[in-house]
Amino acid sequence: MRKIGIQEIEDIALGAALLGAGGGGDPYLGKLMAIGAMKEHGPVTLLDPDEVPDDAFVVPIAMMGAPSVLGEKAVGANEYQTLHDMVSQYYGREIFALMPIEAGGVNSMLPFLAAAKLGLPVVDVDGMGRAFPELQMVTFTMAGVNATPMALTDEKGNSVIFKTITNKWTEELARSVTMSCGGAVSVSLYCMDGRIVKDYGVHGIVTRSEKLGRAIREVKNGNGTPEENFLAFTEGFKLFRGKIADVLRETRGAFNFGKVILEGIGEYKGHVAHAEFQNENLLAAVDGTTLCTTPDLICIVDSETFTPVPTDALKYGKRVLMLGLKCFETWRTPAGLELVGPRYFGCDTDYVPVEERVKGGLCNV
């Protein structure tokens, strides 16, 4: 148990933006909202999963929809009190703590914003260890946990509780309502007992995000070059360095879809890379050779500061470094790949771990 204040929020937002693999929204926006709530209500208590009683009622908080839309309309004043009241009244249980459902710039911050406003702790756990675009894409689905009853509300005060037959149906129906509400809403789903959180959640995600964010801030203080330091503490695989030559982007079904094309610079001059995304980066290739796919993380960062660049902030001319990170091991199982493997997203390739794809120098063209 420890307190999370403004400096910790700064680092968590930065590190979670990296683990968001391009998705999860602008960390700056989420950070500002969380810091504002903490300035008004004070710091938030962070609990280790082992500190949560088995019968405690733990509730994830997140936004659903296109992160770029959230950047336009932000979060209203009452969504989290509305979600709290809907969930606690529906279940007839007192909420013990909140938790993030994924790592990402906005969705790593919203539980702290809600916790500060509601006076509740946050558990250091999530259901992804990164960010994925659809609601059913969590470790809890593989454990047989139902996403519903799920509470959804928008900034105007519209609200609904879903009860669906599968988690995929939760995604389909909630996505439709999200579109009707303007493309971005606040949600609470996978409400569960502490025992399930401990058994099936990705432990330590907030702490990992904080450590990554702090290391990015201090990347120039290590013994090697900043790039060497960055790759060392992220345990990342360098895929490409280049300048953004084009970005194709569209919002469809409350998702950001698109493709970014990079022209090589430095040792990659004369080569071309691209990454395809659906909120999060899904596939990265250099000269037509695939080097990394979901569920491994494809991260694009500023080549000088190593600050993560989410998919909705990709801009022509920006110089970036593209790297791959290993995903949480559970995603590499057959059940995990059925949920979040490349073929689910329409990529014409089987999953091969990033460390295998880059073996033999393929990442150093």
Is 46 within 8 Å of 5 (Cβ atoms)? Answer: no
In the predicted structure, residue 361 carries a pLDDT above the cut 60: no
Phi-psi region of 204 (alpha: psi -120 to 50; beta: other; left: phi over 0): left
Query: What is the tens place of the pLDDT at every residue in 176-209?
Result: 998 898 888 999 999 999 999 999 999 999 999 9
Q: What's the pTM?
A: 0.91
Are 291 and 352 in contact by the 8 Å Cβ rule? The answer is no
**Reported confidence tier of residue 224, pLDDT bands at 50, 70, 90:** confident
Look at residue 312 in the predicted model and tell me its pLDDT: 83
CA 271 remoteness from chain centre: 30
Angle between helices 110-118 and 27-41 (to 10 degrees): 10
Dihedral sign, Cα of residue 6, residue 12, residue 13, residue 14: positive
Q: What are the tens digits of pLDDT across the range 242-261?
A: 999 999 988 776 677 899 99
Of 8-12, 66-70, 283-287, 311-315, where does mean pLDDT reach its minimum?
A: 66-70
Provide the 10 A C-beta neighbour count for residue 233: 16
| % the chain with pLDDT above 90 | 78
pLDDT per residue as tens digits for the range 145-174: 999 999 999 988 999 999 999 999 999 999
Which residues are within 8 A (CB) of 276 and not within 5 positions of it... i.e. 6 or more apart?
A: 258, 259, 282, 283, 347
Asked, as a colleague might, if the bond just before 53 is cis with ω within 30 of 0, I would say no
Residues of the chain with CATH 2.40.390: 230-357
Task: Give the mean pLDDT of 270-274.
Answer: 95
The pLDDT, as a whole number, for residue 362 is 45
Question: pLDDT digits over 15-66, tens only?
Answer: 999 999 988 777 788 888 899 999 999 999 999 999 999 999 999 999 887 6
For range 347-357, the mean pLDDT: 94
Answer whether residue 364 shows pLDDT above 70: no
| 71, two tokens | 């950047």
What is the C-alpha separation between 280 and 132, in angstroms, rounded?
A: 6
- pLDDT number for residue 73: 65
pLDDT (average), residues 264-293: 94
54, 122 in Cβ contact below 8 A? no
Could you tell me which CATH number the domain at 2-205 has? 3.40.1610.10
Per-residue model confidence as pLDDT tens digits over 327-351: 999 999 999 999 999 999 989 999 9
Residue range(s) occupied by CATH 3.40.1610.10 in the chain: 2-205
Mean pLDDT of 69-94: 84
Q: SS3 for 285?
A: strand
Q: If one looks up domain 230-357 in CATH, what number appears? A: 2.40.390
What mean pLDDT, rounded, does the chain reach?
A: 91
